[in-house]
């Protein structure tokens, strides 16, 4: 039986550009919300309308700086204290997901810490898309709806009618992601094996597989500085590929990312709007995930399965 509780959608201060599109696709206006700041930068969010007994959806990415995560935690707490019936955090880009394990001694597992903080704040459910690693879902003790970017990217790649299509991963760790994407096209995959000196700096890279005469699509969950993708594209083209383009769900685009992409051999970089684009580039194409999130919200409201939103291969 469908819930009789009213659905209300709110947006954090940095995700309004996407939240407005999600709310529009869902058929509602965004709820009234105000974020005040003390002179020292302390955040003080408040809802400008009642949420008592409502199913509340809070849309906000947790990308750095830490203020974004802190704002979301305070939004959850405020909704709980205002007697919301059910609080779902909609995090288009789940920040700190790259720190999902101890890859060397004496480091934090930030993704688990964020999960603990969301639970402590009072969140009932998480909705997100293309986590850095799918097993991060296991860090949460409440339901996680993990949407897939393939729902928007696969139709776009199909529309290009590329012959001899080959899917590539810019690193060995993304092999499973590339394989999943390749199954939609019944295509083969190749891997790029990279060795880093330190974060955001590549020491060496080699391509595992034959790319001769292929139209190659590099697939990754996010693009930060763009160094890995641009290096991979360069090597793949040197190995005889006909063309190279890249798909990344989350456009972090820090540092010299835009310059790196503009000066690269990539035909194009296709990203989603989980994060705002600070700068436009002729090589970057942005696809919206607003309709996907809006449909997922509707299915959660009606207690229906969201698996129908995934593309079957």
User: Which residues are marked as active site?
Assistant: 194
> Using a CB cutoff of 8 Å and minimum separation of 24, what contacts does 232-237 make?
232/168, 232/170, 232/192, 232/194, 232/205, 232/207, 233/264, 233/265, 233/266, 234/264, 234/265, 235/192, 235/205, 235/206, 235/207, 236/168, 236/190, 236/192, 236/207, 236/211, 237/265
| Paired tokens of 163 | 């012959």
CA–CA gap between residue 229 and residue 183 (Å, rounded): 22
Q: How many CB atoms lie within 10 A of CB 26?
A: 20
| Closest among 82, 55, 60 to 70, alpha carbons compared | 60
Q: Quick one: how far is CA 263 from the chain centroid?
A: 25
202 in Cβ contact with 228 (< 8 Å): yes
Report the relative pairing of strands 269-272 and 284-287 from DSSP bridges: parallel
Read off the DSSP letter of residue 149: T
5 in Cβ contact with 54 (< 8 Å): yes
- The 3-state DSSP class for residue 268 equals coil
Report the relative pairing of strands 165-169 and 188-198 from DSSP bridges: parallel
């Amino acid at each position: 039986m469908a819930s009789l509780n009213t659905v209300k959608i709110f947006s954090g201060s940095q995700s309004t550009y996407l939240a407005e599109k999600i709310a529009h696709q869902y058929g509602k206006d965004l709820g009234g919300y105000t974020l005040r700041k003390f002179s020292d930068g302390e955040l003080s969010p408040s809802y400008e309308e009642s949420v008592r007994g409502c199913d509340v959806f809070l849309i906000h990415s947790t990308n750095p700086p830490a203020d974004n995560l802190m704002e979301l935690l305070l939004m959850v707490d405020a909704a709980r204290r205002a007697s919301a019936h059910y609080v779902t955090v909609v995090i288009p880009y789940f920040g700190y997901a790259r720190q999902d394990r101890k890859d060397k001694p004496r480091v934090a597992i930030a993704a688990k810490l964020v999960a603990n903080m969301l639970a402590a704040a009072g969140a009932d459910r998480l909705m997100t898309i293309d986590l850095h690693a799918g097993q991060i879902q296991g860090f949460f003790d409440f339901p996680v709806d993990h949407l897939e970017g393939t729902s928007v990217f696969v139709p776009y790649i199909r529309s290009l009618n590329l012959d001899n299509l080959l899917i590539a991963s810019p690193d060995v760790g993304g092999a499973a992601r590339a394989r999943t994407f390749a199954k939609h096209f019944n295509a083969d995959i190749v891997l790029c094996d990279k060795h880093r000196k330190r974060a955001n700096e590549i020491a060496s890279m080699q391509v595992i597989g034959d790319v001769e005469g292929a139209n190659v699509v590099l697939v990754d969950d996010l693009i930060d500085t763009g160094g890995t993708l641009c290096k991979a594209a360069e090597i793949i083209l040197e190995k005889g590929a006909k063309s190279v383009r890249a798909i990344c769900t989350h456009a972090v685009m820090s540092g010299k990312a835009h310059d790196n992409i503009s000066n690269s051999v990539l035909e194009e970089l296709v990203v989603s709007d989980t994060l705002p684009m600070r700068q436009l580039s002729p090589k970057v194409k942005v696809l919206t995930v607003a309709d996907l999130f809006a449909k997922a919200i509707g299915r959660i409201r009606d207690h229906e399965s969201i698996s129908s939103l995934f593309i079957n291969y």
